[in-house]
Chains A and B, each alone.
Chain A
Amino acid sequence: MTALRWAVADGWTVTLRDLTHKANQPVQLVINLLFSVMVLLMFSYLFGGAMDVPGGNYQEFLVPGVLALTMVFGIEAMFTAVSTDVNRGVTDRFRSMPMAPSAVVLGRCAADMIDAVLALTALVAAGLAIGWEWHNGLPSALAAFGLLLLLRLAMLWMGIYLGLVLRNPEAVMALQILVWPLGFLSNAFVSPGTMPGWLGAIAEWNPLSATAAATRELFGNPGWGGDSSILLAVGWPVLLIAVFCPLAIRRYRDLSR
């Protein structure tokens, strides 16, 4: 039991470390939050006029898409944190200390989930301000937020794995750029039905699309989701976690090989 107690205590210390980063850089924190809000407003007011959503307005369609896209940003935040620690030797220092090995990763995941909740809160506030709302009651809305956070968790494990594999901090640039086409190749902003056939098929299968469609369904917002979207929105992240969590753990252990 003491081992578990220390694992929790160490994890919390690592979480605090990340929260302190934010407290030390309040401007950065605000910019990060404003960035997602800016994407929402840009699409809503710059492109929104040209969009025609069957059975609803574009804002109603857009907000769940941007929420899901913002969850995907977790991959690069985690990647940057992990690869920076490995490259600076901070990971080695942790590994040479009598702390719980799991704490390094779990503590950071917890901190990032707090981040994700902050980002969701900012976006929801902005969404409500531009006329979006949920129509199926609070329990369904909470379930939708749960699915969004589940997607975030899956992205975090991918980020941990990539950070341990690529290590090179410059790779974050490539990742930051790649997130956009991957984000747009989905139903976040438009219906995949408007894309060329094969692209549309990829977009339909994008895990981001599954979560966006399921949250639209739960919020009662217009979309093109089929019956299976909630199942997919659970299945995709769970599958990704089932693949990348063991990979990341093995990669972390391999640091000592």
Chain B
Amino acid sequence: MPAPAVVAENLRKRYGETQALDGLDLTVAPGAVHGLLGPNGAGKTTAVRVLTTLLRPDSGHASVAGCDVLRQPADVRQKIGLVGQNAAVDELLSGRQNLVMFGRLYHLGVAAARRRADELLERFRLADTGGKPVSKYSGGMRRRLDLAAGLIMAPAVLFLDEPTTGLDPRGRNDVWDAVRSLAAGGTTVVLTTQYLEEADQLAGRISVIDHGRVIAEGTPDSLKRQIGADRIDVVVRHTADVPAAAALLARVAGATAETLPEQRRVSAPVRDRMAALAALVPALTAEGIDAEDVVLRRPTLDEVFLQLTDKKEVVA
């Protein structure tokens, strides 16, 4: 097995009363897209700041691309790209001027920095607007420029901290496409997100983070399995039928059914999918419950997440 691209062991960081990192462990395989999923304040950004040498942890160890973040920060900085929560680009420079400046600061020669800037502008569909000041860019364009700046040196590990926050769907798709093409090229990507869909779409593995700790980890599918069973949803035509449907579903599934009266939906986890479905449909007819839809499905990541973080479970 190749050496991991990112290792974090028992990272702790305290800010006054807040334990931002509380023994965080993380291992990311080279070439993987690894999602750090968690709510606001879970410690995702703090973890990324430690891994990118911006922040010293109170205790614990971390290495990125084989270099220790505390003892070899300069080496780590040679091998990473960081795209933070803000579009960290200079508003008063043009897109091209930004990329040339950052290229020079990565110690590219003038000609090489210009060439790299043009390549990246082309790749991120900014070639036409590369000469305009960034203050005239849209949010999506800024993000793409920000991403391009993080890729000047073809980093071994790219860190993306909530890369799509505040973007419209088109901007979000642009970022997703960029991440996918990077991953296809073999770059290790660590991305934080609050959006379960985003982690599900992009990441091969997900670490669910809450209160500064990893509370679950695995592939999106294994996380869903870990949380248990598939689910059956029944949608009834009349709200009045919801209690009867819930009772019936609970009996068939052998588990408590949740109700969402405003959606006329009831939902329960099942062990044996087909047997439950086979029993359920005739029973609905027999009891005269007018069902509009019966769905057999995997739990959504929302359900996984909410269950893991110990909040009230809801049906998405």
Binding site for B on A (CB under 8 A): 6, 9-10, 13-14, 16-17, 20-21, 24-25, 87-90, 92-99, 103, 255-257
Contacts and interface: CB of A to CB of B under 8 A. Distances in A.
Contacts of A87: 86
A89 B84 contact: yes
Nearest to A16: B101
* 9 closest A-B pairs by CB: A89-B88, A89-B86, A93-B88, A98-B77, A96-B82, A99-B105, A13-B104, A21-B92, A89-B84
A17 B87 CA distance: 18
Nearest to A22: B92
B84 A17 contact: no
Interface centre among B78, B80, B84, B92, by most chain A C-beta atoms within 10 angstroms, is B92
Contact of A25 (B56, B82, B92, B107): B92
B22 interface: no
A98 B78 contact: yes
Given A88-B86, A88-B88, A256-B54, A96 B77 contact: yes
A92 B88 contact: yes
A179 to B, nearest CB: 22
B124 interface: no
B93 A20 contact: yes
Interface of B: 49, 52-56, 74, 77-78, 80, 82, 84-94, 97, 101-102, 104-107, 133, 149
17 contacts: A16-B101, A17-B93, A20-B101, A89-B85, A89-B87, A90-B90, A92-B49, A92-B54, A94-B105, A95-B53, A96-B80, A97-B105, A97-B106, A98-B74, A256-B53, A257-B55, A257-B56
A14 B105 CA distance: 9
Contact of B89 (A90, A97, A103, A255): A90
A76 B214 CA distance: 44
A10 B55 CA distance: 22
Contacts of B94: 24
A6 B107 contact: yes
Contacts of A89: 84-88
Interface centre among A21, A93, A257, by most chain B C-beta atoms within 10 angstroms, is A93
Given A95-B54, A96-B52, A257-B55, A17 B90 contact: yes
Nearest to B55: A256
A16 B52 CA distance: 26
B104 to A, nearest CB: 4
Contacts of A93: 82, 84, 88, 102, 149
Contacts of A98: 74, 77-78, 106-107
